Structure 1
Amino acid sequence: MGQALPKVALRPYLAQDAPVLAAIFAASIEELTGDDYSETQQQAWAGAADDEDKFGKRLASALTLVATLEGSPVGFASLKGADHIDMLYVHPAAVGQGVAASLCDALEKLAQGRGAKNLTVDASDNAAEFFARRGYEAMQRNTVSVGGEWLANTTMQKKLDDAKRPGAPR
């Protein structure tokens, strides 16, 4: 008989979460993006969390949710303003357990609650498929400079007013 996966719980970001979320951020980039970005690009991208105080301020400046499994943080996502997903990262060990979906469901619901008609995200190449499965459509390709390296991503948008209720079967 199979064992049920632990249930994902969400809670608001707390200042003391910065170190563990910085580690999740770096691990996610280093272990999950190798097919789409070079090692140099990954290092530059992950370097955004090297200064934990600055990283914590970025998390605190948005509505940031922390996903936990059995009480331990395994992912996080931030809603910037009413209508932009700024960050969504899951620890590689927790991929496939519904963490990203739970975080995205919550941000979509929060954005709707804030009156947003659309929700946008600048999705990394490895995350674009996840967002496409959730009904986000590619709007434009971007090239951004991060830590002296150029990285590509795609601005994607989902219409919320005619989107399915968060958590509904897809």
Structure 2
Amino acid sequence: MGQSLPKPALRPMLPTDVPVLAAIFIASIEKLTGDDYSEAQQSAWAAAADDEHKFGARLARQLTLVATLRASPVGFASLKGADHIDMLYVHPGAARHGVATTLCDALEKLAGARGATALTVEASDTAERFFAKRGYVAMQRNSVTIGDEWLANTSMKKILAAGSSA
């Protein structure tokens, strides 16, 4: 029987987090999306973190939260503007231990506090089931080009409860 992990703690992203967040991003794509995307698609997608400065700048322009277990980063999520989840990634070793749920709960509360009435996300085929279980509804399928590869995702939307914390 496996040992249960403690509940993840959340904190704002620090500039020194960028290398580990880039590593989480890459590991998440490489280890968790293989059932839905080819190796070539995964490589093209993960290449977004090759330039850590550019990757860090993207996260710094958004409200980015870092999930930690025993003080070590294991996931992150970013809110673009008041109403769009841009990134949500969890290290494979911490997957299915409530990290994504904790991050998403926090982003939904923050979006509501920023006045958003709905929250949107471009969910990968791997993440679509996670968001659907949280009440996000598929709006449309998309094809995006990354490098020489085409990847599919789904635009999803969740109506946030008025006057509540999502």
Query: The TM-score by the shorter chain falls in which range?
Result: over 0.9
| Residue 144 (structure 1) aligned with residue 144 (structure 2) | yes
Summarize deviations over 1:40-67 as a string: whole Å, max 9, x none: 0000000000000000000001000000
| Residue 53 (structure 1) aligned with residue 53 (structure 2) | yes
Counterpart in the other structure of 1:16 = 16
Q: Kindly tell me: are residues 96 and 164 of structure 1, through their superposed partners in 2, closer, same or farther at Cα, counting changes over 3 Å?
A: farther
Q: CA RMSD in A?
A: 1.6
Taking structure 2 as the reference length, the TM-score comes to 0.96
Q: Which consecutive residues of structure 2, in runs of 5 or more, have no partner in the other structure?
A: none
Matched length: 166
Decide whether the 8 Å contact of 1:7 with 1:70 is kept in 2: no
Summarize deviations over 1:81-140 as a string: whole Å, max 9, x none: 000000000000001110000000000000000000000000000000000000000000
Q: Kindly tell me: are residues 35 and 2 of structure 1, through their superposed partners in 2, closer, same or farther at Cα, counting changes over 3 Å?
A: closer
Shift of 1:146: 1.1
Decide whether the 8 Å contact of 2:11 with 2:65 is kept in 1: yes
Counterpart in the other structure of 1:81 = 81
What does 1:108-147 align with in structure 2 at a 5 Å threshold?
Answer: 108-147=108-147
Q: Measure, in 2, the Cα distance between the counterparts of 1:41 and 1:129.
A: 20
Task: Extract structure 1 runs of 4+ deviating beyond 3 A.
Answer: 1-4, 162-166
- Give the letter aligned to residue 141 of structure 1: R
SS of equivalent to 1:121:
strand
| Residue 160 (structure 1) aligned with residue 146 (structure 2) | no
Q: Measure, in 1, the Cα distance between the counterparts of 2:163 and 2:129.
A: 18
| Residue 6 (structure 1) aligned with residue 14 (structure 2) | no
Counterpart in the other structure of 2:30 = 30
Give the fraction of aligned pairs with identical amino acids, expressed as a percent: 72
SS of equivalent to 1:140:
strand
Shift of 1:7: 2.0
Taking structure 1 as the reference length, the TM-score comes to 0.93
Q: Which consecutive residues of structure 1, in runs of 5 or more, have no partner in the other structure?
A: none
- Give the letter aligned to residue 129 of structure 1: R
